[in-house]
Structure 1
């Protein structure tokens, strides 16, 4: 047998296991052997009480099966089992029966508890009490796991080598207990959070990802850290370690303090990002109206997230387990909209499907129907929709009998429907039926404090979707985006973040040069800077190498000729971020 070189988790609690082993053997009148995942004998009785701490090299087929498959194995006639056929010790084996139960932590098998019969009386005990023995051994296994986790947590929190490593890391690190209090931190983390070592000790914090999906494999993500009266955005990775959590902060941080809502806490509706006063008011209203059945009319500029709000209302309603059907009234031709909404029976008109068609109103029965851009619905269909709302039944095209209907209607528009009513383009009676509960969404320019939260949310979202590292961004870029007016609202911001995630090289930071030109227009430039303009070539300063001069000329010529930095980068065989850095380095006027 070989002596183990490293101490397994089972070996760390060997004294406890030895006591349980002797107790099991005396109570069950069976032999007991406990090994770890490396087949090191941790404890045993009778023929198995020798060579503790050594690795088994023979008669291990059954143990290996339990470890590899992470499931129980029972053998009543040892020599006749297929696993015993290839055993080198088959001729000398004294085992009559075997019952092995894996010890599992998480997804890993860390060892095996086995009951063994070395005579016919013990074989009879196993054969007649298989279920009882299995249940009992599973209970013992769970006790071992509980003791291991308790011991490991204490060792982790008090490990001097780990403490010294964390304290001396340049990277910010927090270690959180299961009650979310800080067990350990280093100076880098304290500096980022603006706290002293005395302030941060045993401080309770709330750590939440800006994106619900928890996946550290895709690199760093943005987390919102809340403590006392503060909220701070930090880029990092969260790693669970038993009952502890280790939070590793990225070297580059594009974080900042996020203002608390001006009144009491907003409801947690994770699809609606923002802490501004308009968002706080909206979230409060949504939580109040969602459980009811009254019609809701959502108004707001294009791109403000009207469908996101509609889906949030549905998810918080009593209809959340039923269908949410969305239709854009402006995107479907007028001649098709009626059949889409109301459906039809077979033979209703020339070209109708032989099976007929279930309309979206019927498809949403029991659930929610979302009518986007309701202002573009034709007048004729407005009359039919009004009848549906009033009668709570729908008449498919060509049918002679209405169908009962139980739906909640949420509609949305970016238009002023009262002006449409005055112009004769929208029915006033339908407007009042749809506008039972009005919701007005503020444009992004009126909730500036939410811009940074939203940009990080979308960066996280698109980075994970494309399996890219979270890029982060400079404070200059954040300032530019905060000063921009966002005519396309949240949709424009989301599209911009997707564009930036696509073009920023992996592992690099989003800088000003990567932003589209219209974001860096003269009115948005910080004071003292000017927009780049084309000028005559300047003589090269002395001291530059021939290679640098040639590189500068190649880049300048390619950019001027192609009029596009991305195309120039592709032609020169370099990255987009690289060409921007070179333009900045050589002070090129790229137009």
Structure 2
């Protein structure tokens, strides 16, 4: 019923489909600086009130914030918390924007729901939406929903009383929000005075690990004038019994190793005191936003960023060479945005993901009536669509030989001949290609044209694998923790030193893509307010080293126990490794049909994937 709702008129009486006005208020309250809505910060309390409402009123309850993310709910609304509901939410938006109650009965025949495309199948018989108002701002909507005739009669008979009750609940939520903000903002003046007198660096973090106070000593040592609003990642923070310890602080694209002590309060506020610090590859060179997207401050990454800045303005072809998951398309985007072509199209095509019989028409297009089933007006190819801009050819090594000849001709003549056309079409493109294969070896085997290779490989860029980017792991970990936490709508968690130790020893066959996927998984499963510890890591990350291909039954897994003693967790990981591997491949086969894509996701070769499919009897 809440889909595609039209503009709603106000009524005075609380009868069917009434909307109860409130005094005009300012526009909706925005999210906090860490990207987490105010209601999400008290999600447990909100869920408690949702369950209370459902039990007392005998109706289903849904509570969303002012960004329409579901904060809490009962029954069918208890799923997909932290996400915008899949169905259209125009009626909820109406409550937020107008900041008034909305009451609807008989959704299938009601004039307010006439435009809804799902009206006939709608299971919601009645709806009451009440805005949550706090300090003249709308923080979200509390909805009561009747799912059957009995609930509809109940809702209709007690509408006014229910609205008043929800307003009372909103007041209780406001009290919780006030208490939360007082906890987050409460800084003892005596503490700040003493912090400014000490010779140690002092930093105070709130529960979301944003800096809320920093003394002058810490400002000078960290070389920051104002604390950034983004959360920090602080680790390790384990052993309170030790007087002082190493503490790694990662903030934006910078990382330091502090030597000091720390104390955390019951409400999550964290105090860190340190005597000295050591920057970890902290060379602060000005960077464009495009280059900053390439997170990393290791020597190889600094050299790569400098090279990208130099070659971006040139029209020359670029070939990006690197293992799967190293971020080749991110680099290609950065080159495009830094080039004079940044206002034109950036067209990307994965040569390995498109069947050979379709790749030609995708690249070069076709004329009207070129073949049976062709679009009546023909179709422009991707090369033509990229004219004036950049064409990114990912996995160029998988392009068929027949198309390699046509691509070479297009590069040399700056024109393409669509399938079935009689006249060529002029194009102006810059080609950026990428591969994880040894193209010179493919040339020697006759699988790749040498003349095309030299046309594409004018400017080679070699992307380092994650295992060779010293100290970038912490920066990337911080980047993905903040990124995924904000996207999912959860507070940023810290990580334990044991997790850092295990991840630092891991060889990362899937590179940065694998790290991003792991962090997204951890952000989803870590209990709110807790640090990510090693018990949350999948078994494979408990091994210091393992072959790039999982071993067969007759092979042994070597974990270099001389320098890294095996623990009981590691022994369990070894015994369960094959089960994990089989389930991962089986899940990927059900989700993705392209074997090359599956191999890339798993960080193995295609031939290895086929062998393991046969080994485990998967189809």
TM-score relative to the length of structure 1? 0.52
| Alignment partners' CA distance in 1, 2:462 and 2:325 | 13
Question: Which string of whole-angstrom CA distances, capped at 9 and with x for unpartnered residues, describes residues 454-473 of structure 1?
Answer: 11111111111111111111
- Per the TM alignment, residue 210 of structure 1 is displaced from its structure 2 partner at its CA by 7.1
> Quick one: structure 1 residues 208 and 450, their matched pair in 2 at CA, closer, same or farther if it must change by over 3 Å?
farther
Given the alignment, which residue of 345, 349, 353 partners 1:331? 353
d(CA) in 2 for partners of 1:379 and 1:330? 13
Counterpart among 194, 199, 202 of residue 217 in structure 2? 199
Shift of 1:407: 0.9
Aligned to 1:251: 270
1:257-296 paired onto structure 2 within 5 Å: 258-260=279-281, 265=285, 267-268=287-288, 269-296=291-318
Asked if 2 retains the 8 angstrom alpha-carbon contact of 1:267 and 1:287, the reply is: no
Give, in angstroms, the shift of residue 383 of structure 1. 0.6
Query: Is the CA contact 1:394–1:405 (under 8 Å) kept in the aligned structure 2?
Result: yes
Matches within 5 A, 1:367-382: 367-382=389-404
RMSD: 4.4
Would you say 1:407 and 2:429 are equivalent positions?
yes
Measure how far apart 1:261 and its partner are. 5.4
Instruction: Give the total of aligned pairs.
Output: 350
CA shift for structure 1 position 426: 0.6
Change in CA separation of 1:202 and 1:250 when aligned onto 2, cut-off 3 Å: same
Distance 1:404 1:167, change over 3 A: farther
**Corresponding residue for residue 165 of structure 1:** 188
CA distance in 2, matches of 1:387, 1:485: 41
How far residue 325 of structure 1 moved from its aligned partner, in angstroms, is 0.6
Assess if the C-alpha contact under 8 Å between 2:351 and 2:396 holds in 1: yes
Instruction: Provide the rounded CA distance (Å) in 1 between the counterparts of 2:570 and 2:407.
Output: 57
Is 1:439 aligned to residue 467 of structure 2? no
| CA separation of 1:475 and 1:524: change in aligned 2, threshold 3 A | farther
Aligned-pair CA distance for 1:208 = 5.1
Question: Which structure 2 residues correspond to residues 491-510 of structure 1 after superposition, within 5 A?
Answer: 491-510=513-532
> Structure 1 residue 198: deviation in Å?
6.5
1:213-266 deviation per Cα after TM superposition (whole angstroms, max 9, x unaligned): xxxxxxxx963486xxx8469xxxxxxxxxxxxxx995398x99552357x836
Q: Deviations over 1:93-122 (max 9, x none)?
A: xxxxxxxxxxxxxx999xxxxxxxxxxxxx
Corresponding residue to 2:378 among 356, 360, 375: 356
Aligned residue in 2 for 1:223: 251
Query: Which blocks of at least 5 consecutive residues in structure 1 are unaligned?
Result: 1-64, 70-106, 110-161, 175-181, 213-220, 234-247, 536-559, 565-591
Task: Tell whether the 8 Å contact from 1:300 to 1:441 is kept in structure 2 after alignment.
Answer: yes
Secondary structure of the corresponding residue to residue 448 of structure 1: coil
Map Cα deviations across residues 333-381 of structure 1 (whole Å, 9 max, x no partner).
0000000000011100122111211110111111110000001101111
2:510 paired with 1:488: yes
Partner of 2:144: none
Secondary structure of 2:431's aligned partner: strand
Whether contact under 8 Å (1:211, 1:460) holds in the other structure is: yes
Contact 1:344–1:357 (8 Å) recurs in 2: yes
Partner of 1:384: 406
Q: Decide whether the 8 Å contact of 1:166 with 1:173 is kept in 2.
A: no
Secondary structure in 1 aligned to 2:292? coil
| Aligned counterparts of 2:346 and 2:453: Cα–Cα separation in 1 | 22
1:531 aligned onto 2:559:
no
* Secondary structure of the corresponding residue to residue 168 of structure 1: helix
Question: Could you tell me how far 1:393 is from its partner in structure 2?
Answer: 1.0
3-state SS of the aligned residue for 2:471?
helix
How much has 1:165 moved relative to structure 2?
2.0
Aligned to 1:366: 388
Secondary structure (helix, strand or coil) at the match of 1:476 reads helix
The aligned counterpart of 2:471 is 449
Aligned equivalents of 1:261, 1:200: Cα separation in 2: 16
After superposition, the Cα gap between the structure-2 partners of 1:460 and 1:424, relative to the gap in structure 1 and judged at 3 Å, is: same
Structure 2 residue 335 is matched with structure 1 residue 313:
yes
Distance 1:372 1:424 in 2: 20
Larger Rg: 1
Q: Residue 257 of structure 2 contacts residue 279 of structure 2 at CA under 8 Å; is this kept in 1?
A: yes
